[in-house]
Amino acid sequence: MKLSADMNDFQGRIGYQFSDPALLVTAVTHPSRSSSTRPDNQRLEFLGDRVLGLVMSQALLEHDVEAAEGLLAPRFNALVRKETCAEIAREVDVGSVLKLGRSEMMSGGRRKQALLGDAMEAIIAAVYLDGGFEAAQTMVLNLWGKRIKSVDADARDAKTSLQEWAQARGQQPPNYTEISRTGPDHAPIFTIRCELESGQRADAQAGSKRIAEQEAAKTLLKEVENK
């Protein structure tokens, strides 16, 4: 199978050249585009999630040889969660090579967090099947590298940490307000504002209120801690 120019460019962005290009095509094929002759990426996603977990488990043990399980677990969760996979996917522009059905394409599927996260996991599995564990490990560590080094901050529960910060300064807990909801019912985008009693605030968008609240809290926490 000969890959298109954009798929060849994508291989450069992830730092891996496939011996079997069909694996990469399957990894970026959403169920809405699948057919009897074109399998989708759901099975690869299942495998990729496990490969990512093993790579991250080993990386965390090597990064901090003295950390107890109680510290490792939240760090691990921060690195393998769907939101992080989607962030990585955006950095290498997975959206530009996703193969989507018309309905998903029309509803902004190339930007959806769930689709991007699933595709990133499927790509990890495709590399694993094509080149073995070491190839998948190398790619993951290259793409996740900076996050592994800074995972302590990402592993914190931002809403809890911000509330503790506010209470330590005699303020009421932060207030979370839904500013807007856009998009279709099956794929809404929520804009949430997190505001402190002092008037400091930050907004964030996500496909669920919970994630948007966490992202707004994380942004505001960084701002107040850096002042």
Q: How many CB atoms lie within 10 A of CB 105?
A: 15
Task: Give catalytic residue positions.
Answer: 49, 121
Q: Which CATH code is given to the segment(s) 5-152?
A: 1.10.1520.10
**Start-end of CATH 3.30.160.20 domains in the chain:** 158-225
pLDDT band at 207 (very low <50, low <70, confident <90, very high): confident
96's CB contacts (< 8 A; 6+ apart) are 6, 10, 110
Task: Reply yes or no on whether the pLDDT at 153 is more than 60.
Answer: no
**What's the whole-number mean pLDDT along residues 196-203?**
95
Are the CB atoms for 87 and 60 separated by under 8 Å? no
Q: What is the DSSP letter of 173?
A: P
User: For residues 186 and 107, what is the distance between their CA atoms, to the nearest angstrom?
Assistant: 9
**Start-end of CATH 1.10.1520.10 domains in the chain:** 5-152
Local structure of 133: helix, strand or coil: helix
Name the phi and psi angles at 8, rounded to 5: -65, -40
Of 64-68, 94-98, 152-156, which gets the smallest average pLDDT?
152-156
Rounded to two decimals, the pTM is 0.74
Report H helices in 81-208.
82-91, 102-106, 113-131, 133-149, 151-155, 158-168
Architecture of domain 158-225: 2-Layer Sandwich (3.30)
